[in-house]
């Protein structure tokens, strides 16, 4: 691996594990809870131990003053939930733009199984080629999503993360399959570090149990957005997630250590 790529990977994670808090949802969902005052949210999650934050390029000026020396990932494609097809992710930036706005890494979202999969495959291939030339790590968000696709099927998730590796990504993110045993298949489908998304918030206990299960299956951490940035105490939940990812804490112990009761 290019020395610059490795050095930048070490800026968005720690010791090969990752607590990334993505807040690119401002395009997907709009200015939802946690994203209106994104400055405070970024400050809170990075004080809580997030290794890096992730946004679209346009809000970069609102990131740097508040990220407390955490790493920064710029997301390069998007869609909206009000558009014709939220699975149809279109390019919103380039690797060069990401470098210009101070990114340590870039990310791209693919919906494997969607009608727009072929274009997204081409997009990721181009992004990894350019990123390699600049020594910029690529986080591929490879979901199993599309007509008739089971978004939590371990076989499909394993296929999605392997696609990310085959196209030159350095870290892959996907949905959690729901239990450690099935998620082992996902992790074993690639040599890359696999991190999990949080999905729609389902309560602190469910969130931490998913993180614990994924880590037990061999995952390398999380790229967890809404369950963190929409929490009523983003710093505390980040602290709990980081305790599981980086300190191998149990779900309940991590919640208690962060001052959060184990509630549904």
Ligand X SMILES: O=CC(=O)COP(=O)(O)O
Active site residue 134: no
For position 57 contacting ligand LIP6PEJA by CB under 6 A, the verdict is no
Helix spans in 64-179 (H): 95-100, 117-134, 154-166
Element (H, E) at 79: none
Which string of x and - marks every residue 138-157 that binds ligand LIP6PEJA (by CB under 6 A)? Answer: ---x----------------
Buried b (16+ CB within 10 A) or exposed e, 173-206: bbbbbebbebbbebbebbebbbbbbbbebeebbb
Which residues in the 100-119 window bind ligand LIP6PEJA by CB under 6 A? 109
Nearest residue to 192 (alpha-carbon basis) of 139, 123, 118: 139
- Residue in 102, 199, 218, 250 binding ligand X, rule: CB under 6 A: 199
- Tell me the three state secondary structure of residue 74: strand
- Residue in 28, 128, 189, 242 binding ligand LIP6PEJA, rule: CB under 6 A: 28
For position 141 contacting ligand X by CB under 6 A, the verdict is yes
Q: According to the annotation, is 4 in a ligand binding site?
A: no
The active-site residue out of 143, 153, 204, 209 is 143
CB 17 within 8 A of CB 242: no
For position 63 contacting ligand LIP6PEJA by CB under 6 A, the verdict is no
Active site residue 173: yes
Active site residue 24: yes
* Residue 170 partner contact from ligand X, ligand LIP6PEJA, none using kind-dependent CB cut-offs of 5 to 8 Å: none
Residues making contact with ligand X (CB under 6 A) = 22, 24, 141, 173, 197-199, 223-227
């Amino acid at each position: 691996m290019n020395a610059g790529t490795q050095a930048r990977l070490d800026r968005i994670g720690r010791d090969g594990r990752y607590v990334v808090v993505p807040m690119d949802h401002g395009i997907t969902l709009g200015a939802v809870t946690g994203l209106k005052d994104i400055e405070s949210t970024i400050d809170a999650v990075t004080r809580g131990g997030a290794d890096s934050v992730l946004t679209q390029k346009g809000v970069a000026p609102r990131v740097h003053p508040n990220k407390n020396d955490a790493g920064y990932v710029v997301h390069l494609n998007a869609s909206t939930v009000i558009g014709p097809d939220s699975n149809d992710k279109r390019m919103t930036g380039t690797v060069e733009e990401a470098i210009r706005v101070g990114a340590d890494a870039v990310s791209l979202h693919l919906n494997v199984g969607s009608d727009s999969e072929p274009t997204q495959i081409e997009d990721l291939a181009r992004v990894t080629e350019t990123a390699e030339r600049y020594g910029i790590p690529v986080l591929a968000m490879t979901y199993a999503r599309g007509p008739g696709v089971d978004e939590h099927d371990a076989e499909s998730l394993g296929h999605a993360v392997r696609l990310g590796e085959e196209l030159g990504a350095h870290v892959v993110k996907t949905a959690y399959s729901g239990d450690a045993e099935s998620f082992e298949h996902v992790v074993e489908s690639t040599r890359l570090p696999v991190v999990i998304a949080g999905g729609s918030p389902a309560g602190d206990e469910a969130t931490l149990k998913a993180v614990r299960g994924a880590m037990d299956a061999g995952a390398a951490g999380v790229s967890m957005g809404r369950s963190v940035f929409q929490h009523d105490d983003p710093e505390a939940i980040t602290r709990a997630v980081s305790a599981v990812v980086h300190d191998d804490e149990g779900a309940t112990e991590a919640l208690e250590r962060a001052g959060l009761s184990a509630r549904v």
